[in-house]
Structure 1
Amino acid sequence: MIYDRFGSWSSNTLMPQTRPLTPKGMSRDPSGTSTPLLLNRVNDDRGIMVKYSSCLKAFVDGVVNGTNNDALRKCLRIAVIGAPNVGKSSFTNQLVKAAVCAVSRKMDTTQENLTAAITEGDTQLIFVDSPGVVGIKHARYTVRSMGNRLLQDPCRAVDTADYLLIVQDPMELGDYIHHRIMHLLHSHSHIPSSLVINKIDLVQRRSDLLELVRILCCGQVGGKPITTTRKQIGRLGSLSPPKETVLMPLSVNNEGNTDEQWQRKYNAIMAKKTYECPWFDTKKVFMNIRGWPNFDSVFFVSSFTGEGIDDVRKHLCSVAQKKNHRFPKGLITTKSPQKLCLNAIRAQLLEHLPSEVAYNLNVLITEWQTEGDVLQIVTEVRCDKERHARLVLGRSGTTIISIGKNVNEIMQNLFKQQLFVRILVKANGKLVDFTNFLNRKTMNSGAIS
């Protein structure tokens, strides 16, 4: 569990190599030498902490005795869901002002739910970053995930949520909401939701987003038809009609089939959890249904620049419910520090390697101890094939050096502590490094000559 003793703070977010590691809107910790922020942690069956440090115990005592005013104010649990690779994790990082979610350009970087929180004033927002919705074939044969969390966690996040944020990537082909997301929305229609159009920094003509929103919202937001307002700009504005509100017509077929056969199929999948429905059943039922008419608001954001993030946070604070805070102020995430470290390494492996290679690597921590003021972390990347180890190391070790540098930078900013993460590479149980491959290559070259 990561806890910030100094209130809210900022950190860098892991972004693609073509962009700096610290995006706009999130600053680095200049010193990296703050007091360690790691607390002893034991999980119960629900993954909630049951062992408290003195500050956490005081919080709990305050709730029980009714002396903790912060715990009696407003709280909201939000599920962040969407199709794979739409930017849910980087969006969550911006919302909580800390890079707790691992990020890469590849899909399936997030393979299980991660809870992150931020408390501003008397309101606590709890976000659940979920994996992108995928089918069982993709989970088993592409990601090589033998468990069920990759399939079930998006549904679990929605089941426990007070509010839903549906994240959409406008750069992807197709003007429709993913059929698995549509099933989640229809089966949880009692939960209020908002549509979030992410990655707007990559959109050249933002006016095109209005048509996309019209389709994804079925022509209405908050129960009211979407309207546009004409504005006069310069002399050319006089050629247009005066200021007026114009309804944006909805001509797309968004009702789907209404015959008895379609209704039976719809009722059948609505009786099941999303992950229990066959992939092609939900795809067929929602084939002609492109949007959701019950969004209460729409936001345009950039998880890279931070544009629009404050508006989302303010809206969530305004709709937060009057109930006890679930976590003490300053709590950032309930994930263990070790899990955050492993997630950061896996994300960097996905960033630097082909997906089919990265998915087949096993990462584990072999040492975690503090020496003086420095946290020493030793990890291993275990490869089943020697050629995979060569890819992890890279030419003259450039790949593993880049991975190690990025992981150290991310973890130091997140933990706000001096630390060193060492990444070892093993192939078939044997430790390897780039000098071994260089020596072998030299010997082979000499034999040929």
Structure 2
Amino acid sequence: MATLVLISLRRGHNIRTLGTLSYSSQPKRECKKDLHKVVNVAIIGAPNAGKSTLINKITERKICAASNKVHTTTKLVRAICYEQDTQIVFLDTPGIVTEKEQKKYNLPDSMLAACEKSLRCADVVGVVHDVSNKWTKDNLHSDVIKMLEMIKHIPSFLILNKVDMLKTKKQLLAIIRNLTNGMIAGNPIPNANKNKKMEERGYSHFSDVFLVSALNGDGVNDIKKYLIGNSKPRSLHYSATDWSDQTPETLIEEAVRAKFLDFLAQEIPYNLKTQLEYFDDIKHEDKIICSVSVECPTERLARLISGAGGGRLQQIKSHVRNDLIDMFKKTVVIDIRLKVKSKPPSEETLRF
């Protein structure tokens, strides 16, 4: 009979490696050395759980737009890394969004279908859950559970993010029991109360649980090793040097949009329209030069965003530049301009 004995719960470890295991959820594969391997990974979860931050840490590039507000990611983005003859293709999806939220935050219609599309392309599904949120830490989002129930044939694993924010190991164990309904890889978690029927708050078919802090990078290498172990021999979907399926122009626009979300309050940044106006990748200088316009509904809002003496806009520009350098791994020169939608072309641009 399968047994699982947990010895310890140190942060950053796969829960199934923390003890004696007499089963394996994945059969060992042998493949020829000259074959490449590929694994497609759908990363899903509630808004602001840390999906994009996690992918950026694993790929070691700031590919996916991330901010401290919900719904930063508005479309399906593929982030790619290549290691040990294995191409890992991450499908970064928007967080779960309702029709009410879509209208409130002025979000595109495509967000509603992006998660479902990523699941259809996946070999394995990772569910990121924020354990620092006291209101939702003990329950998976109902829409996440519905998605997982639809794809039971696809292996899935749970990623508990922000575990460094928890105070005790006991608290962490309780969260794991709740989110897995006391079951991991078809086996009951030790010390779970078997006499009382547990209220099902999570999903019972996770093959593994990882404990990470995506922001600090703790535990992300264990996830990368797990994904490499779940890869399949096949032709590469992308070149071994590719790291995103998005154009540089789109990545720049999304990076600017994410930083405005970070710096501006409430719903203000959701009403801005970001557009790349100039882009030049100077190969021989290893430099990118670009200019981005941000359209504001009113002149008053443009001045509010700019800040006294244009200070806030300069601060945003500095942070965006740093993110783009981390993304492209080369020098980046960027100009960001605020445009007022209601003004005629001769007066519409405000430079600060």
Q: TM-score, with normalisation over the residues of structure 2?
A: 0.84
Is 1:151 aligned with 2:64? Answer: no
The aligned residue for residue 291 of structure 2 is 378
Q: Please tell me the residue identity of whatever aligns with 1:188.
A: I
Give the conservation status (yes or no) of the 8 Å contact 1:74–1:324: yes
The question of 1:321 aligning with 2:232 is answered yes
Cα distance change of structure 1 residues 398 and 252 upon mapping to structure 2, 3 Å threshold:
farther
Contact persistence 1:367–1:378 (CA under 8 A): yes
**CA RMSD between the two structures:** 1.8
Aligned mates of 1:368, 1:74 — CA distance in 2: 34
Contact 2:182-2:192 within 8 A present in 1 as well:
no
Residue identity matched to 1:431: T
Q: Tell me what 2:168 maps to.
A: 205
| Structure 2 residue aligned with 1:132 | 95
Displacement of 1:124 in angstroms is 1.7
Report deviation, 1:252. 5.3
Give the corresponding residue for 1:402: 315
What residue is the counterpart of 1:160 in the other structure?
A: 121
How many residues were matched structurally? 312
Q: Tell me how far apart the structure 2 counterparts of residues 208 and 307 of structure 1 sit (CA, whole Å).
A: 19
1:105-140 Cα shifts (integer Å, max 9, x gaps) = 00111101110111111222111010001111211x
Cα pair 2:293 2:336 within 8 Å, conserved: yes
In the alignment, is residue 414 of structure 1 matched against residue 332 of structure 2? Answer: no
Residue of structure 2 aligned with 1:214, choices 174, 177, 202:
177
User: Displacement, 1:330?
Assistant: 2.7
| Structure 2: segments with no counterpart, 5+ residues | 1-31
Query: Which residue in 1 is equivalent to 2:14?
Result: none
**1:73 Cα shift?**
3.1
Question: Which amino acid in structure 1 is aligned with residue 214 of structure 2?
Answer: S
SS at structure 1 position matched to 2:72: coil
Partner Cα separation in structure 2 for residue 86 and residue 251 of structure 1: 30
The alpha carbon displacement at 1:369 in A equals: 2.5
CA contact (8 A) 1:215 1:250 kept: no
Q: Aligned in 2, Cα 1:250/1:304: closer, same or farther, shift over 3 Å?
A: farther
Does the Cα contact within 8 Å between 1:217 and 1:293 map onto a contact in 2?
A: yes
- Tell me the amino acid that sits aligned with residue 432 of structure 1: L
Structure 2: how far apart are the matches of 1:163 and 1:300? 18
Q: Deviations over 1:256-281 (max 9, x none)?
A: xxxxxxxxxxxxxxxxxxxxxxxxxx
Q: Which residue does the alignment assign to 2:188?
A: 225
Aligned to 1:309: 220
After superposition, the Cα gap between the structure-2 partners of 1:375 and 1:311, relative to the gap in structure 1 and judged at 3 Å, is closer
SS of residue in 1 equivalent to 2:267: helix
| 2:243 alignment partner, SS class | strand
Deviations along 1:207-230, one digit per CA (max 9) or x if unpaired, are 311111101111110111112xxx
Amino acid at match of 2:307: G
Cross-structure match for 2:15: none
* Contact 1:116–1:127 (CA under 8 A) maintained in structure 2: yes
Higher mean C-alpha deviation, range 182-191 or range 382-391: 382-391
Instruction: State how 1:422-433 maps to structure 2 within 5 Å.
Output: 422-427=335-340, 428-429=342-343, 430-433=348-351
Q: Which moved more, 1:167-176 or 1:323-332?
A: 323-332
Distance 1:144 1:252 in 2: 42
In the alignment, the residues of structure 1 paired with residue 83 and residue 288 of structure 2 have an alpha-carbon distance, to the nearest angstrom, of 30
Could you tell me how far 1:355 is from its partner in structure 2? 3.3
Partner AA of 1:161 in structure 2: A
- Counterpart Cα distance in 2 of 1:210 and 1:368: 50
Correspondence for 1:185 = 148
Q: Which amino acid aligns with 1:144?
A: N
Matches within 5 A, 1:285-296: 289-296=200-207
Separation of aligned partners in 2, 1:161 and 1:363: 30
For 1:122 and 1:375, locate their aligned partners in 2 and report how far apart those are by CA, in whole Å.
Answer: 30
Partner of 1:109: 72
**1:411-432, Cα deviation, whole Å (9 max, x unpaired):** 1232222221100111134112
1:41-56 matches, within 5 Å, as: none
Match of 2:82 among 82, 99, 119: 119
Distance 2:318 2:197 in 1: 50
In structure 1, what is the Cα distance between the partners aligned to 2:166 and 2:195? 23
Give the number of the structure whose residues are more often helix, by fraction: 1
Q: How much does 1:398 deviate?
A: 1.5
Contact 2:181 2:198 in 1 (8 A): no
Amino acid at match of 2:139: Y
SS in 2 for 1:119: strand
Q: Once the 2 structures are TM-superposed, how far is the Cα of residue 404 of structure 1 from its aligned partner?
A: 0.4
Q: Kindly indicate whether the alpha-carbon contact (under 8 Å) linking 1:219 and 1:249 is maintained by their aligned counterparts in 2.
A: no
Secondary structure in structure 2 of the residue aligned to 1:333: coil
Task: Give the direction of change, closer, same or farther, for the CA distance of 1:204–1:253 in structure 2 (3 Å limit).
Answer: closer
Deviations 1:365-420 (A, max 9, x none): 11113568343211111111122102220122121011100111111232222221
Distance 2:196 2:242 in 1: 47
Task: Return the match for 2:252 from 341, 350, 355.
Answer: 341
What CA distance in whole angstroms lies between the structure 2 residues aligned with 1:370 and 1:310?
A: 32
Segments of structure 1 that go 5 or more residues without pairing to the other structure are 1-67, 228-245, 255-288, 435-449
Alignment check: 8 A CA contact 1:365 1:380 kept:
yes
* Closer/same/farther in 2, CA of residues 252 and 336 from structure 1, 3 Å limit: farther
Residues 251, 114 of structure 1: alpha-carbon distance in 2 compared, 3 angstrom cutoff? farther
Percent identity of paired positions between Structure 1 and Structure 2: 30
TM-score by length of 1: 0.66
The letter for the 1-side match of 2:278 is E
1:119-174 Cα shifts (integer Å, max 9, x gaps): 111222111010001111211x22212x4211110111111111000010111213
1:99–1:370 CA distance, 2 compared to 1 (3 A):
closer
Distance of aligned partners of 1:253 and 1:219 in 2 relative to their CA distance in 1, 3 Å threshold? closer
